[in-house]
Amino acid sequence: MKAINHGSPTDITITWDKPRDGVLKQLTHYHVTYEAISMAGQNVTNSSQYSVNVSATSQHVSLKDLATYSTYEITVKPVMKDDKMENKKVIFASI
């Protein structure tokens, strides 16, 4: 999984690799969550967690209006037909 900043201090695009064919056949969608874990170098203890569902055919999502000078924990979970989820995490600092 990668976090790509396209020049905006508050917007990023998260991309990930396509799962194995056996997994892909069972995939219904991706569940992406993100929350600030630090702002301006200070730990955040009560931040809101946001989430978005992404189509099974997509391998990216754009996150907009993030806080500047903040570090986010971002998780992409492939959701399977049997409701199983696998985690992938990336920590990203917006500038």
Q: How do residues 13-33 score in pLDDT, each as one tens digit?
A: 999 988 777 777 788 899 999
In total, the chain counts a number of residues equal to: 95
Q: How do residues 28-82 score in pLDDT, each as one tens digit?
A: 899 999 999 999 889 998 889 999 999 999 999 999 999 999 999 999 988 888 7
Spatial CB neighbours of 43, under 8 Å, sequence gap ≥ 6: 37
47 DSSP 8-state letter: P
Cα distance between residue 84 and residue 43, in whole Å: 31
85 DSSP 8-state letter: B
Q: What is the pTM of this model?
A: 0.81
Domain annotation for the chain: domains and CATH numbers = 2-93 (2.60.40.10)
